[in-house]
């Protein structure tokens, strides 16, 4: 099939770990690669954010990345992109109407891509599939006044859910959230993200360790809601263990990053400055080294739409201790592949980590079950197959085009 992905702020070619570059970039890159490997013709549309970018770039994994001119050709924060979405949608519609390539289906990632996708889809008759990756209702609940999303986000997300041809939710928690928002359950299909089982596997190079200290690894963009401060407080409750934090700005810029400085100050006030290491952003192809070096992956977000890092660790045969939120409730099986504790509870987190690090047999059993679960349920080829079936199903419904003067 000819498949148009839209990922307005998250390019599959971006360097990860920065504030707006994480799971969505990985998801779009891996999904597009898996669909291309299955023989589909995939083009990913993302905003042109530098003057010197060519319109189309062939990604090494066999799909095209199309840079859409919408707004200034420079980096713009994700939350400031809404005003450029009409131009994004118009550019797509014009190209699909007049160019030699028209998609059979559009898959939009994030709500702003959905707005552009729906506008283009309506003008060209192409059906639209929507994956939110994150929801405004959840963000507002957890971040309150600090939520910088554009006003009206929740209304846009609700309308999208009711207008697109299919909503793909990534976990059961998201389904419940969407239903509470007023999106009918009948419009949704649950298809989880996958994990790259070649990049993430138990065998391969391993990052250096600091002597005999057990290693707690935690990974993600350095933003407060990822709960790194809870992981540091929990580490203080685990004798001898070191806590390695991967993600954030590149190592050279960590010194000046305000959140990294707060984490360092916290480690000092907990008396464990020598046991907390901030690594900064690590290229995707090197992530496996870090997971393999860990005794446990701790993911302690306050909320998490899906959460790729627990799955990546599981695929490397590393048990996960996480908070019982979002996608972690589907991926981690408590008592079998890891443990789940309430969010924002460093004492419970510390107790769970201490218990697991002190019990080699349980750690081994969790590691084996985690690997098995990642391999049998979460390969990208399985995710791509399920989505390709869904695309084929929605593509049989040709929609009337709405001609806009």
Binding residues for ligand UDP (CB under 6 A): 16-17, 22-24, 26, 219-221, 246-247, 281-282, 284, 287, 306-309, 312
CB of 304 to ligand UDP, least distance (A): 7
Q: Which is nearer to ligand UDP, 78 or 156 (CB)?
A: 78
The alpha helices in 248-331, defined as continuous H runs, are 258-269, 287-292, 308-315, 328-331
Residue nearest to ligand UDP (CB): 22
Integer Cα distance of 382 and 194 in angstroms: 8
CB of 376 to ligand UDP, least distance (A): 20
Q: Which is nearer to ligand UDP, 221 or 292 (CB)?
A: 221
Q: Which is nearer to ligand UDP, 47 or 95 (CB)?
A: 47
Decide the pairing of beta strands 64-68 and 215-219: unpaired
Give the dihedral sign, CA 340/342/348/353.
positive
166: Cβ contacts below 8 Å, ≥ 6 apart? 127, 129, 130, 187, 188, 189, 390, 394
Helices (H) and strands (E) in the chain, counts: 14, 14
Q: Which is nearer to ligand UDP, 126 or 282 (CB)?
A: 282
CB of 25 to ligand UDP, least distance (A): 7
Q: Which is nearer to ligand UDP, 20 or 372 (CB)?
A: 20
**What is the C-alpha radius of gyration for the chain, rounded to an integer number of angstroms?**
21
CB 226 within 8 A of CB 314: no
CB of 252 to ligand UDP, least distance (A): 14
CB of 400 to ligand UDP, least distance (A): 36
Calculate the alpha carbon distances from 185 to 14, 169, 191, 386 in Å: 34, 10, 14, 18
Q: Which is nearer to ligand UDP, 124 or 170 (CB)?
A: 170
CB 130 within 8 A of CB 166: yes
CB of 299 to ligand UDP, least distance (A): 7
Integer Cα distance of 172 and 135 in angstroms: 14
Q: Which is nearer to ligand UDP, 12 or 17 (CB)?
A: 17
Decide the pairing of beta strands 56-58 and 64-68: antiparallel
Q: Which is nearer to ligand UDP, 2 or 264 (CB)?
A: 264
Tokens for 302, please give them.
């306050």
Integer Cα distance of 260 and 18 in angstroms: 12
CB of 163 to ligand UDP, least distance (A): 25
The arrangement of strands across the sheet holding 64-68 comes to 56-58, 64-68, 41-47, 2-6, 105-109, 128-131, 166-169, 188-190
CB of 302 to ligand UDP, least distance (A): 12
CB of 223 to ligand UDP, least distance (A): 8
Q: Which is nearer to ligand UDP, 194 or 350 (CB)?
A: 194
Integer Cα distance of 159 and 112 in angstroms: 12
Q: Which is nearer to ligand UDP, 91 or 306 (CB)?
A: 306
Give the dihedral sign, CA 100/103/109/114.
positive
CB of 281 to ligand UDP, least distance (A): 4
Q: Which is nearer to ligand UDP, 125 or 202 (CB)?
A: 202
CB of 239 to ligand UDP, least distance (A): 28
Integer Cα distance of 313 and 287 in angstroms: 9
In degrees and rounded to multiples of 5, residue 160 shows phi and psi of -60, -45
């Amino acid at each position: 099939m000819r498949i148009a992905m839209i990922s307005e702020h998250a390019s599959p070619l971006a360097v990860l770990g920065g504030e707006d570059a994480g799971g969505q970039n990985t998801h779009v890159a891996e999904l597009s690669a898996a669909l291309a490997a299955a023989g589909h013709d995939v083009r990913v549309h993302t905003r042109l954010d530098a003057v010197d970018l060519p319109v189309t770039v062939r990604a090494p994994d066999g799909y095209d990345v199309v840079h859409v001119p919408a707004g200034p050709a420079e980096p713009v924060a994700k939350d400031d992109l809404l005003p450029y979405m009409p131009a994004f949608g118009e550019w797509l519609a014009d190209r699909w109407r007049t160019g030699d390539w028209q998609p059979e289906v559009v898959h939009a990632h994030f709500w702003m891509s959905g707005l552009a996708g729906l506008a283009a889809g309506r003008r060209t008759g192409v059906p639209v599939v929507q994956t939110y990756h994150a929801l405004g209702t959840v963000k507002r609940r957890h971040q309150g006044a600090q939520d910088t999303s554009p006003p009206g986000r929740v209304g846009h997300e609700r309308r999208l859910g009711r207008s697109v041809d299919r909503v793909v939710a990534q976990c059961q928690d998201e389904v419940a959230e969407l239903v509470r928002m007023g999106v009918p359950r009948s419009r949704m299909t649950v298809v989880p993200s996958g994990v790259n089982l070649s990049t993430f596997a138990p065998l391969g190079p391993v990052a250096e360790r600091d002597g005999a200290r057990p290693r707690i690894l935690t990974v993600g963009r350095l933003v407060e809601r990822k709960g790194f401060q809870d992981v540091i407080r929990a580490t203080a409750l685990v004798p001898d263990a070191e806590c390695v934090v991967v993600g954030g700005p590149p190592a050279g810029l960590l010194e000046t990053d305000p959140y990294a400085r707060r984490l360092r100050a916290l480690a000092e006030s907990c008396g464990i400055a020598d046991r907390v290491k901030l690594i900064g952003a690590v290229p995707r192809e090197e992530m496996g080294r870090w997971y393999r070096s860990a005794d446990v992956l701790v993911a302690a977000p306050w909320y998490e739409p899906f959460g790729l890092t627990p799955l990546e660790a599981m695929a490397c045969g590393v048990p996960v201790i996480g908070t019982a939120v979002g996608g972690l409730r589907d991926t981690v099986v408590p008592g079998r592949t890891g443990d789940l504790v309430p969010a924002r509870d460093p004492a419970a987190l510390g107790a769970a980590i201490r218990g697991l690090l002190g019990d080699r047999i349980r750690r081994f059993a969790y590691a084996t079950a985690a690997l098995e679960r990642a391999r049998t349920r979460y390969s990208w080829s399985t995710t791509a197959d399920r989505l390709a079936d869904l695309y084929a199903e929605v593509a049989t419904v040709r929609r009337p085009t709405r001609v806009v003067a």
